[in-house]
C-alpha cells in the first residue's frame, strides 16, 4: 500500500475540460494536506488535438513531476493508447465507456487495469456534458479510497457563486462516478490518499505568483497584448483590476503596451506589461527609451520556444541573452529569473523596488513551464516587504526645489526624480541623449558623462538582493548550476541522488543583471566538477558566466525540445558525470 504519494494524469481533446479535472484534483490534494506539482501539455489550437494534465502529489514538498502514472483519466481512445506505456505497475486507467469502445483500445501490459465508467452518460443525467469533469472526479475519489464528502465540499466552494442548482448538478455527477466505481467492486487500488493536517499552503502557478507580487509592490497600471503563455497575467489583472484599483488596458499591440507603461512610469505610477518572446521583440525600441530616459517599469517575458512563432505552447529558456541585450545602444537593466511560484512572488516585489531605485526597466523571465505549472507552496510571507521608491521626490521636497536637474550627475549615478504635476520640476523626459536638465545634447563630453552615470546605477542596488541561492551539500566538489525554472527539477533530482548517498551542491542563479559575479566565481572555483543545466541549445548562461567570471563550466546539459527537464534525465546526467570522474 502506497499512501499519499502518486502521479495522476488526465488526457483528452482540447476543450474537453482536462485542465478543470486537473485543477480539481490538485485542490483536493491541497485540502488533504498534501503537496503537489502539476504540468499541462497542449497544442496551439482551441478544440480538438490532445491535451494532458499531469499532477504529482506527495506528503513532502515537491518541485517537479517524477515517476510513472498511477492513475489516468482518459476521455478518448487516444489518451488510453498514448499513455498506457507511461503507467506504473498495476496502474489504473479510468476511461469514458460512452466515448471509448473496448475494441478501439489495446493495452499490451497485462498489469495495467482498465476501469470503464460511463462518464458521458452520468454527465448527461446530471444535466449536460459540462458535468463530465465531476463524474470523472467522483470516480477518481472512489479509486483513491477518499471520502466523497471531501469532493462535495470542494464542489460547493468552487461553484458557490454560480448558485445552488449548479452546485447540485456537479454533486450529482460526482456521486454517480463515485458510486459506479464503488459498486463495481474492482480490486482494491494499492494507492490511497489519506488526508492529514498541514500548515497553510497556496495552489498556484508562477504567472499568478508574479501578479500577486506585483500587486503587493503597488502596481497601478498594466498594459498588455495577449500572447501565450503570458495571457493569464492579463486575465488575472483584468479580473482584479477594480477591487485592487489597478487600470488594466488590453492595448492595440505590444508596442503600445510598453509605451503606455513608459508614460505611466514617467508620471510616477508603478506599471507593468507581460508578454512572450514575440511581443518582447516588438517592445525592444521602447525598452531603450526607458533606459536612456531613466524610467522605471517592469516587463514580464513568459518565454516560449522560439525563434519567431516557434512552438507557441511549449517551453524554453532561450531569451536570456535577448533580455540582456535587447534594444540598441547600452543602458542598465534588471533581469530576474525566478525559479518557482514562491520566488516569482518575492522577486517580483523586489524587482519593482530595484527598477524604481535604479530608475531603469526591469525584465522578469518566466517560461511556459513554471508560468503555467500549478504547484502547492507554503503561504507567502510578507514580513520585511517594504516598498522603496528610491530618489522619487515628494511634493514637499519639490516645493523648495531650485534649478532641479532630473538627470543630475551624482556619485552613484542616481538622480533625484520628480513627476509631472509637481512644481519646480518641469523637464523633458527624452529618448534623445540629453544633458542634466533633460535637454537634447550631442556634446561629446556630456555623452560620456551621461553614459557613465547610467552605467553606475546598478551598483547602487544592495548586492544581497540579487545573490544566487545555494542548495545541497556546501562541501561537495560537484557543483550544478542552473537558472530560472530548471531549479525545481534539480531539487527533485537531488532528492533522488540523496537516496544513493550522492550529495551535490547546487547554485540557482536568480539575477543575470545585476550579476553576482564574485559569489558565482567563488563557488565555481571551489568545485572540482561543474555542470550547467539550461533550456537552450547555446548554453547562454554558461557563456554569460564565462564572460563575467572568466570561468568555463566544463559540462553542459542543454535541453531545447520544447519540454522541461525531467528528474530522470537529470539524475542520469549527474551520475554519468560522476562516474566519468571515478574512471580518471
d(CA 490, CA 340): 12
Asked if 22 touches other proteins (CB under 8 A), the answer is no
d(CA 253, CA 251): 5
Residues 6+ apart with CB under 8 A from 107: 80, 84, 93, 114
Asked if 580 touches other proteins (CB under 8 A), the answer is no
User: By C-beta, is 304 or 333 nearer to other proteins?
Assistant: 333
Asked if 36 touches other proteins (CB under 8 A), the answer is no
Cβ of residue 236: shortest distance to other proteins, in angstroms? 10
CA atoms within 13 A on the CB side of 454: 29
Asked if 246 touches other proteins (CB under 8 A), the answer is yes
Q: 79, 123, 191, 269: which one contacts other proteins (CB under 8 A)? A: 269
Asked if 160 touches other proteins (CB under 8 A), the answer is no
Q: 7, 201, 206, 540: which one contacts other proteins (CB under 8 A)? A: 201
Distances from the Cα of 106 to the Cα of 9, 79, 100, angstroms: 19, 12, 11
In the chain the first and final C-alpha atoms are separated, in Å, by 43
**Beta carbons within 10 angstroms of residue 374's beta carbon:** 26
Asked if 419 touches other proteins (CB under 8 A), the answer is yes
User: By C-beta, is 245 or 330 nearer to other proteins?
Assistant: 245
CA atoms within 13 A on the CB side of 336: 27
Cβ of residue 253: shortest distance to other proteins, in angstroms? 6
Cβ of residue 240: shortest distance to other proteins, in angstroms? 7
Q: By C-alpha distance, which of 480, 497, 473 is closest to 567?
A: 497
Residues 6+ apart with CB under 8 A from 279: 225, 227, 230, 254, 257
Q: 104, 164, 253, 561: which one contacts other proteins (CB under 8 A)? A: 253
Three-class SS state of 584: coil
Strand partners, 443: none
User: By C-beta, is 281 or 467 nearer to other proteins?
Assistant: 281
579 CB burial (10 A radius; 0-12, 13-18, 19+): exposed
Asked if 432 touches other proteins (CB under 8 A), the answer is yes
Cβ of residue 348: shortest distance to other proteins, in angstroms? 12
| Total number of residues that touch other proteins (CB under 8 A) | 67
Considering only residues 271-310, where is the footprint of other proteins by CB under 8 A? 271, 285-286, 289
User: By C-beta, is 86 or 433 nearer to other proteins?
Assistant: 433
> Which stretch, 100-108, 250-258, 303-311, 505-513, contacts other proteins (CB under 8 A)?
250-258
Cell of 555: 559540462
d(CA 468, CA 481): 10
Cβ of residue 281: shortest distance to other proteins, in angstroms? 15
> Which stretch, 9-17, 216-224, 501-509, 514-522, contacts other proteins (CB under 8 A)?
216-224
Strand partners, 39: 54
User: By C-beta, is 262 or 509 nearer to other proteins?
Assistant: 262
Look-up: residue for cell 500572447?
Answer: 227
Asked if 210 touches other proteins (CB under 8 A), the answer is no
Asked if 238 touches other proteins (CB under 8 A), the answer is no
CA angle 287/411/455 to nearest 5° reads: 30
Cβ of residue 323: shortest distance to other proteins, in angstroms? 20
User: By C-beta, is 43 or 420 nearer to other proteins?
Assistant: 420
- Are 336 and 347 in contact by the 8 Å Cβ rule? The answer is yes
Three-class SS state of 179: helix
Residues 6+ apart with CB under 8 A from 53: 9, 10, 11, 18, 19, 21, 22, 23, 38, 39, 40, 41
Asked if 428 touches other proteins (CB under 8 A), the answer is yes
Asked if 431 touches other proteins (CB under 8 A), the answer is yes
User: By C-beta, is 244 or 473 nearer to other proteins?
Assistant: 244
Asked if 61 touches other proteins (CB under 8 A), the answer is no
Asked if 382 touches other proteins (CB under 8 A), the answer is yes
CA atoms within 13 A on the CB side of 258: 25
Q: 85, 325, 439, 443: which one contacts other proteins (CB under 8 A)? A: 439
Q: 82, 166, 321, 427: which one contacts other proteins (CB under 8 A)? A: 427
d(CA 306, CA 292): 28
What does the binding site for other proteins look like in residue numbers (CB under 8 A)? 30, 200-204, 208, 212, 215-218, 220-221, 223, 240-247, 249, 251-253, 255-256, 259-271, 285-286, 289, 379-380, 382, 386-387, 419-432, 438-440
Amino acid at each position: 500500500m502506497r499512501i499519499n504519494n502518486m502521479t495522476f494524469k488526465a488526457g483528452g481533446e482540447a476543450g474537453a475540460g482536462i485542465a478543470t479535472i486537473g485543477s480539481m484534483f490538485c485542490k483536493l490534494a491541497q485540502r488533504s494536506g498534501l503537496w503537489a506539482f502539476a504540468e499541462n501539455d497542449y497544442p496551439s489550437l482551441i478544440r480538438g488535438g490532445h491535451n494532458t494534465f499531469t499532477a504529482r502529489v506527495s506528503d513532502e514538498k515537491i518541485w517537479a513531476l517524477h515517476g510513472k502514472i498511477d492513475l489516468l483519466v482518459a476521455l478518448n481512445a487516444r489518451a488510453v493508447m498514448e499513455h498506457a506505456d507511461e503507467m506504473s505497475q498495476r496502474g489504473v486507467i479510468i476511461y469514458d465507456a460512452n466515448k471509448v469502445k473496448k475494441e478501439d483500445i489495446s493495452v499490451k501490459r497485462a498489469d495495467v487495469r482498465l476501469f470503464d465508467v460511463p462518464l458521458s452518460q452520468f454527465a448527461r443525467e446530471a444535466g449536460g456534458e459540462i458535468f463530465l469533469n465531476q463524474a470523472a472526479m467522483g470516480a477518481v475519489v472512489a479509486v483513491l479510497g477518499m471520502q466523497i464528502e471531501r469532493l462535495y465540499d470542494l464542489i460547493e466552494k468552487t461553484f458557490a457563486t454560480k448558485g445552488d442548482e449548479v452546485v447540485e448538478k456537479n454533486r450529482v455527477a460526482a456521486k454517480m462516478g463515485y458510486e459506479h466505481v464503488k459498486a463495481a467492486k474492482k480490486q482494491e487500488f494499492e494507492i490511497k490518499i489519506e488526508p492529514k493536517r498541514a500548515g497553510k499552503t497556496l495552489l498556484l502557478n508562477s504567472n499568478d505568483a508574479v501578479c500577486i507580487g506585483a500587486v503587493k509592490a503597488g502596481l497601478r497600471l498594466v498594459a498588455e497584448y495577449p500572447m501565450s503563455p503570458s495571457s493569464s497575467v492579463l486575465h488575472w489583472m483584468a479580473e482584479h483590476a477594480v477591487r485592487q484599483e489597478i487600470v488594466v488596458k488590453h492595448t492595440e499591440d505590444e508596442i503600445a503596451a510598453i509605451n503606455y507603461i513608459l508614460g505611466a512610469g514617467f508620471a510616477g505610477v508603478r506599471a507593468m506589461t507581460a508578454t512572450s518572446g514575440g511581443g518582447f521583440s516588438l517592445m525592444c525600441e521602447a525598452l531603450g527609451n526607458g533606459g536612456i530616459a531613466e524610467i522605471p517599469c517592469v516587463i514580464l517575458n513568459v518565454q516560449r520556444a522560439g525563434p519567431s512563432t516557434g512552438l507557441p505552447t511549449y517551453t524554453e529558456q532561450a531569451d536570456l541573452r535577448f533580455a540582456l541585450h535587447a534594444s540598441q545602444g547600452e543602458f542598465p537593466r534588471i533581469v530576474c529569473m525566478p525559479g518557482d511560484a514562491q520566488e516569482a512572488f518575492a522577486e517580483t516585489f523586489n524587482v519593482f523596488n530595484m527598477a524604481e531605485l535604479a530608475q531603469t526597466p526591469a525584465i522578469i523571465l518566466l517560461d511556459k513551464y513554471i508560468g503555467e505549472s500549478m504547484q502547492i507552496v507554503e503561504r507567502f510571507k510578507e514580513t520585511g516587504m517594504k516598498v522603496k521608491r528610491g530618489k522619487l521626490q515628494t511634493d514637499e521636497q519639490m516645493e523648495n526645489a531650485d534649478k532641479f536637474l532630473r538627470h543630475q550627475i551624482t556619485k552613484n549615478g542616481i538622480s533625484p526624480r520628480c513627476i509631472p504635476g509637481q512644481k519646480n520640476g518641469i523637464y523633458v523626459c527624452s529618448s534623445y541623449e540629453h544633458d542634466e536638465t533633460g535637454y537634447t545634447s550631442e556634446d561629446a563630453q556630456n555623452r560620456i558623462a551621461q553614459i557613465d552615470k547610467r552605467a553606475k546605477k546598478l551598483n547602487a542596488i544592495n548586492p544581497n538582493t540579487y545573490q544566487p541561492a545555494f542548495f545541497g551539500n556546501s562541501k561537495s566538489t560537484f557543483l550544478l548550476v542552473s537558472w530560472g525554472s530548471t531549479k525545481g527539477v534539480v531539487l527533485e533530482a537531488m532528492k533522488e541522488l540523496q537516496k544513493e548517498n550522492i550529495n551535490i551542491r547546487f547554485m540557482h542563479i536568480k539575477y543575470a543583471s545585476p550579476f553576482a559575479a564574485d559569489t558565482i566565481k567563488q563557488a565555481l572555483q571551489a568545485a572540482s566538477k561543474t555542470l550547467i543545466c539550461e533550456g537552450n541549445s547555446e548554453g547562454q548562461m554558461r557563456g554569460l558566466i564565462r564572460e563575467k567570471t572568466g570561468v568555463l563550466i566544463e559540462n553542459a546539459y542543454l535541453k531545447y525540445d520544447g519540454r522541461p527537464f525531467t528528474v530522470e534525465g537529470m539524475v542520469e546526467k549527474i551520475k554519468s558525470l560522476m562516474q566519468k570522474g571515478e574512471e580518471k
